[in-house]
Amino acid sequence: MTWSIVARDAATGAYGVAVSTCAFAVGSRVPYGGGRIGAIATQAFVNPLYGVDGMRLLQEGRSAVEIIATLTAADEGRAHRQLHVIDREGKIAAFTGASCIDWCGAVDGPQVSVAGNMLSGPEVIQQTLKAYIAASALDFDERLLVALEAGEKAGGDKRGRQSAAIRIWSGEPVPSFDIRIDDHVDPLAELRRLWRVAHQRYVPFQQASPSRSRPAGVTDRNELDRLCNEYAAAWNARHPE
């Protein structure tokens, strides 16, 4: 009941998952990931343990192929699941259970995978992948958004639309970018609106937060305001409405 894209940005090393569906709050269930280790999308009849256990396997340095095999072998409900993974080497693996509802399947390219089920047809994931590859000049977050928009234009979820999300991990265990639409008549349009809002303060604020490389983060409020204002001005100049 979903289609999603998992990818590694070659320019920055960031990992991301973007997803859209005709179900409530898809961002709370499908995407998992971590900086420097990889990303996972678990969908169809979602098994959240695929995300939890898959993250542990990514942290151990297991390959995407090994992770798919391990998770599905332990799950008697695997015929109803769909799962795709990108590992720390940028390698891809995907699984679509035999009982997933048509149209269902997956395609991939260099450091990117697109998978979906209950779609209007294979062109949904094909166009999602094509748009992602063609948009290599864009920032990673916008590239993921453009890919989802292309998939929706190609038909999307055959039941309709309700929720969408983008999560990105730039180098830390926590997301550097995390926006989601839980319930909306046009979730991707709303996601694009929030994408722009996020770059006004949320993104630079995240960049100034505590991290492994800078444990205290930026705590001077005047300095934080300066950094956020400078970031927003530069970003807006590069992304005119």
User: Mean pLDDT over residues 59-63, rounded?
Assistant: 98
**Chain centre to alpha carbon of residue 201:** 21
Query: Counting beta carbons within 10 angstroms of the beta carbon of residue 66, is it exposed (0 to 12), middle (13 to 18) or buried (19 or more)?
Result: middle
Going by pLDDT thresholds of 50, 70 and 90, the confidence category of residue 203 is very high
Task: Output the average pLDDT for the chain.
Answer: 97
**CA distances to 142, 231, 236 from 225, in Å:** 24, 10, 16
Percentage of the chain modeled with pLDDT above 70: 100
User: Mean pLDDT over residues 90-110, rounded?
Assistant: 97
**Strand 38-44 relative to strand 81-86, pairing:** antiparallel
- Identify the three-state secondary structure at position 34: strand
Interior/surface letters 84-111, b for 16+ CB within 10 angstroms, e for the rest: bbbbbebbbbbbbbeebeebbbbbbeeb
| Straight-line distance from the first to the last Cα atom of the chain, in angstroms, rounded to the nearest whole number | 32
Going by pLDDT thresholds of 50, 70 and 90, the confidence category of residue 1 is low
User: Mean pLDDT over residues 223-229, rounded?
Assistant: 97
> Which pLDDT score, from 0 to 100, does residue 213 have?
86
Residue 84, pLDDT > 90, answer yes
Q: How is residue 191 written in tokens?
A: 């996601």
> Which pLDDT score, from 0 to 100, does residue 240 have?
93
Tell the residue number behind the tokens 């809002």, with chain if given.
197
Residue 138 makes CB contacts below 8 A (sequence gap 6+) with: 146
Residue 105, pLDDT > 70, answer yes
Where do the H-state alpha helices sit in the chain? 48-59, 64-73, 123-134, 140-153, 187-198, 202-207, 221-238
Cα–Cα–Cα angle for 149, 90, 231, nearest 5°? 60
CA–CA dist 224, 237 (Å, integer)? 20
pLDDT digits (tens, 9 = 90+) for 181-194: 999 999 999 999 99
pLDDT digits (tens, 9 = 90+) for 148-179: 999 999 999 888 999 999 999 999 999 999 99
Nearest to 195 by CA among 128, 151, 144: 144
pLDDT digits (tens, 9 = 90+) for 18-50: 999 999 999 999 999 999 999 999 999 999 999
User: Mean pLDDT over residues 195-212, rounded?
Assistant: 96
Q: In what order do the strands lie in the sheet with 38-44?
A: 31-34, 38-44, 81-86, 92-96
